[in-house]
Amino acid sequence: MLPLEGLRVIALEQAVSAPFCSRQLADLGADVIKIERPGEGDLARGYDGALNGVSAYFAWLNRGKRSVVLDLKAPDGLEALATLLEGADVFVHNLLPGAVERLGFGWEAVRERFPRLIWVSVSGYGLDGPYAHKKAYDLLIQAESGVISLTGTPEEAAKVGVSVADIASGLYGHASILAALIQRGRTGRGDRIEISMLESLSEWMMPPMYTQIGQGRTPERAGLRHNMIVPYGAYACRDGQVMFAVQNEREWTRFCTEVLGQPERATDPLYSSNQDRLANRAELEAEIERSFAHRSRTEVSRLLDRAGIASGAVNTVPDVIDHPQLKARGRWTEVQTPAGPIPALLPPHNLLGAPPRMGRVPALGEHTAEVLAELRSRP
What pLDDT, in 10s, does the model give residues 109-165?
999 999 999 999 999 999 999 999 999 999 999 999 999 999 999 999 999 999 999
Q: At 306, is the pLDDT very low, low, confident or very high (cuts 50, 70, 90)?
A: very high
pLDDT of residue 317: 96
DSSP state of 259: I
State how far the Cα of 231 lies from the Cα of 348, in Å rounded to an integer.
30
For residue 65, name the pLDDT band (cuts at 50, 70, 90).
Answer: very high
CA 62 to chain centre: 14
The model's confidence at residue 370, banded by pLDDT at 50, 70 and 90, is very high
pLDDT score, position 75: 97
**Angle (nearest 5°) at CA 100 between 97 and 102:** 90
Q: Work out the percent of the chain whose per-residue pLDDT is above 90.
A: 98
Kindly state the average pLDDT of the residues 321-344: 97
The per-residue pLDDT for 377 is 83
Q: What's the topology of domain 8-204+327-377?
A: Rossmann fold (3.40.50)
Residue/partner pairs of 285-289 with CB below 8 Å, 24 or more apart: 285/225, 285/230, 285/231, 285/235, 287/260, 288/231, 288/235, 288/260, 289/235, 289/236, 289/237
Set 31, 166, 319, 322: catalytic member: 166
3-state secondary structure at position 191: coil
pLDDT digits (tens, 9 = 90+) for 170-188: 999 999 999 999 999 999 9
pLDDT score recorded for residue 180: 98
Superfamily assignment of 232-313 in CATH? Answer: formyl-coa transferase, domain 3 (3.30.1540.10)
- The residues, ordered by sequence, that sit 6+ positions from 229 with a Cβ below 8 Å of its Cβ are 245, 246, 247, 274, 278
- Verify cis geometry, omega within 30 degrees of 0, for the bond prior to 75: no
d(CA 46, CA 35): 16
Look at residue 285 in the predicted model and tell me its pLDDT. Answer: 97
pLDDT band at 54 (very low <50, low <70, confident <90, very high): very high
Q: What pLDDT, on a 0 to 100 scale, did the predictor assign at position 36?
A: 98
Q: For 363-367, what is the mean pLDDT? A: 97
pLDDT over 80 at 351, yes or no = yes
| Average pLDDT estimate for 89-106 | 96
Q: Where are the domains of the chain?
A: 8-204+327-377, 232-313
Name the pLDDT band for 376 (thresholds 50, 70, 90): confident
Cβ 8 vs Cβ 33: under 8 Å: yes
The answer to whether residues 183 and 118 touch, using CB atoms and an 8 Å cutoff, is no
- Over range 216-241, report the average pLDDT: 95
pLDDT tens for each residue of 251-284: 999 999 999 999 999 999 999 999 999 999 999 9
Q: Is residue 276 annotated as a catalytic residue, yes or no? A: no
